[in-house]
Amino acid sequence: MCFFDTMLLHLKNLLTEAELAQGRALLLADDAPWIDGRRSAGEQAVQQKNNQQLAQDSASAATLRALVLGALRRDPLLFSAALPKKIFNPLFNRYSGESNHYGAHVDGAVLHSRAPDQWVRTDLSCTVFFSRPDEYDGGELRIHDTYGDQRVKLPAGDAVLYPGTSVHEVRPVTRGARIASFFWIESMVRSGEQRALLFEMDMALLALRQQHGESAAATRLTGVYHNLLRQWSST
């Protein structure tokens, strides 16, 4: 997916096979501490939310947070697209049985993250999939934007990045269980349009170097990229 054209970015193999196996073992354990997901919902979202969420203060959640954050920090594509300033502590949810959907809603503009203790502006939303697509029916992440409705259901270990301003929902799960991590990112570049332009320029520079190697033109364009980032960013 092209981030500029569709406002979605598919991050393939964000988690390694070992990380995915470790995460699934914790999330699928019989004693995993799942609680009512509505405990963390805002006033508007609580009317639409019907899922389960892993207790934030559990040992499993702490291990899983570290696992996801480690994967995010080493992914160059996510850094280029999001230019992260703050990352909300990753949360984990499960859709199955009677707790099987999350109706159309918009996330709060600023949310409080526990670990670390900070407020995060929700410029971007991210979902990391822990369930394989063949393990459940339904459960598509449906994102409503100016390009129409887009439905996302990705392989386990992959992630999707999309604007935090989007109206979105998780469609009902009719078989199995959909387990994922979700969180928000505050970008160093607040404007989505500026962030998209920087991402397109960064990807073009990468392609230019791959095709023609280092050159004076590529160096000059790299300087333009960093000067724009210097002008538009806030750290």
The answer, as to whether pTM is greater than 0.85, is yes
Q: Clarify whether residues 199 and 176 are in a common domain.
A: no
Q: At 201, which CATH number?
A: 4.10.860
- Tens of pLDDT, residue by residue over 1-50, are 444 445 799 999 999 999 999 999 999 999 999 999 987 766 666 788 99
Mean pLDDT of the chain: 94
Lowest average pLDDT, out of 21-30, 181-190, 212-221, goes to 212-221
Quick one: 82 and 160 in the same domain? yes
Whether the CB-CB separation of 142 and 151 falls below 8 Å is answered with yes
Are 144 and 202 found together in one domain? Answer: no
Could you write out the DSSP letters of every residue in 147-214?
TEEEEE---TT-EEEEETTSEEEEPPEEEE-EEEEEEEEEESS--HHHHHHHHHHHHHHHHHHHHH-S
- How far apart CA 188 and CA 70 sit, in angstroms, is 19
Who's near 156: CB < 8 A, 6+ residues apart? Answer: 15, 20, 24, 129, 130, 131, 132
Q: How many CB atoms lie within 10 A of CB 52?
A: 21
Tell me which amino acid residue 105 is: H
| Mean local confidence (pLDDT), 50-60 | 96
Domains held by the chain: number:
2
CA distance 195 to 205: 15
pLDDT given at position 4: 42
Query: For the packed helices 216-232 and 192-212, what is the interaxial angle rounded to 10 degrees?
Result: 160
Find the length of the chain. Answer: 235
